[in-house]
Amino acid sequence: MMIWVTLALLGLGGCSPALDWREFTPEGSGLVVTFPCRTDRHARPVSLAGETLHMEMLVCSAADATYAVSFLDVADPARLSAVVAEWREAAVRNVRGTDVRRSAWGIKGTTPNDQVGRLVVTGSLPDGAPVQEHAVFFVHGLRVYSATVLGAKPAPEAVEIFFSGLKFPG
In a domain, 49, yes or no: yes
Residue 75 counted as domain residue: yes
With respect to residue 3, please indicate whether it lies within any of the assigned structural domains. Answer: no
DSSP assignment of 49-118 equals: TTEEEEEEEEEEEETTEEEEEEEEE-S-GGGHHHHHHHHHHHHHHHTT-SEEEEE----TTPPP-TT-EE
Q: Tell me what the mean pLDDT of segment 46-70 comes to.
A: 97
Q: What is the pLDDT of residue 81?
A: 97
Q: What backbone torsions phi and psi does residue 45 show, to the nearest 5 degrees?
A: -80, 145
% pLDDT > 70, the chain: 90
**Region 150-170 average pLDDT:** 96
In a domain, 140, yes or no: yes
**12 by DSSP, 3-state: which?**
helix
CA-closest candidate to residue 139, choices 159, 94, 98, 109: 109
Q: How far is CA 167 from CA 27, 32, 37, 109, 147, in A?
A: 14, 5, 18, 8, 12
Give me the pLDDT at residue 2, please: 34
Mean pLDDT within 67-75: 97
pLDDT at 38: 95
Cα dihedral 143, 168, 41, 28 sign: positive
Total structural domains in the chain?
A: 1
Whether 37 and 158 have beta carbons less than 8 Å apart is answered as: no
Show the domain range for 117.
19-164
Classify residue 11: in a domain, yes or no. Answer: no
Which helix (H) or strand (E) covers residue 140, if one does? strand 130-140
The pLDDT value recorded for residue 66 is 98
Which are the contacts of 45, defined by CB distance < 8 A and separation ≥ 6?
A: 52, 53, 54, 55
Look at residue 18 in the predicted model and tell me its pLDDT.
77
Res 11: pLDDT: 37
170 pLDDT band (50/70/90 cuts)? confident
Confirm whether 6 is domain-assigned.
no
Grade residue 98 by pLDDT with cuts at 50, 70 and 90: very high
**pLDDT tens for residues 118-147?**
999 999 999 999 999 999 999 999 999 999
pTM, full prediction: 0.88
The domain that contains 147 carries what CATH number? 3.40.1000
Q: Is residue 77 part of a domain?
A: yes
Q: Is the pLDDT of residue 86 over 80?
A: yes
Q: Residue 40: pLDDT above 80?
A: yes
In a domain, 52, yes or no: yes
Mean pLDDT of the chain: 90
Q: Is the pLDDT reported for residue 44 higher than 70?
A: yes
Q: For residues 101 and 164, what is the distance between their CA atoms, to the nearest angstrom? A: 19
